[in-house]
């Protein structure tokens, strides 16, 4: 089982969408990564709102499901053993201070397995 879950929505207007989720819906902002804002939706789930760009426009509907764990490498090995194909092995992303890897589900949605390196990220209860 994973510790936490984040669903990322890639939007045309980051400021407008961030204001909607933060101010209108009242979701607490837990991490501002510049081009991505992450809001807490429950004890262990989050909503990330990111500025759409060429990199993220290829995902169906602009959605990425992110499964958060401290054991990215372990999940990578277990899933590869089960025949899951990954874009590449886990790697460090210095822009967002995360360690992660991506796979594609049977319907073409991106699934990310990641660990946050930012010490302000709220740990699972």
Domain for residue 122, yes or no? no
From first to last of its 125 residues, the chain has per-residue pLDDT tens of 899 999 998 888 899 999 989 998 899 999 999 999 999 999 999 999 988 876 655 556 678 889 999 999 999 999 999 999 898 999 999 999 999 999 887 667 788 999 999 999 998 87
Radius of gyration over every alpha carbon of the chain, rounded to an integer in angstroms: 14
Domain-located, residue 123: no
Report pTM.
0.78
Q: How many domains is the chain partitioned into structurally?
A: 1
DSSP letter (8 states) at residue 34: S
Angle, CA of 97, 102 and 106, to the nearest 5°: 155
71 within domain boundaries = yes
| 15 occurs within a structural domain | yes
Task: Say if 13 falls within a structural domain.
Answer: yes
Task: Tell me the CATH number at 74.
Answer: 3.10.180.10
Q: Which domain holds residue 46?
A: 4-116
């Amino acid at each position: 089982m994973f510790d936490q879950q984040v669903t990322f929505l890639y939007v045309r207007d980051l400021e407008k969408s961030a204001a909607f989720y933060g101010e209108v819906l009242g979701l607490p902002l837990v991490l501002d990564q510049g081009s991505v804002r992450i809001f807490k939706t429950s004890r262990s789930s989050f909503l990330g709102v990111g500025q759409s760009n060429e990199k993220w426009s290829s995902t169906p509907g602009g959605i990425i499901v992110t499964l958060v764990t401290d054991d990215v490498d372990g999940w990578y090995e277990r899933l590869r053993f089960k025949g899951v194909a990954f874009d590449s092995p886990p790697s460090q992303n210095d822009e967002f201070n995360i360690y992660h890897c991506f796979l594609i589900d049977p319907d073409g949605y991106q699934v990310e397995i990641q660990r946050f390196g930012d010490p302000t990220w709220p740990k699972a209860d």
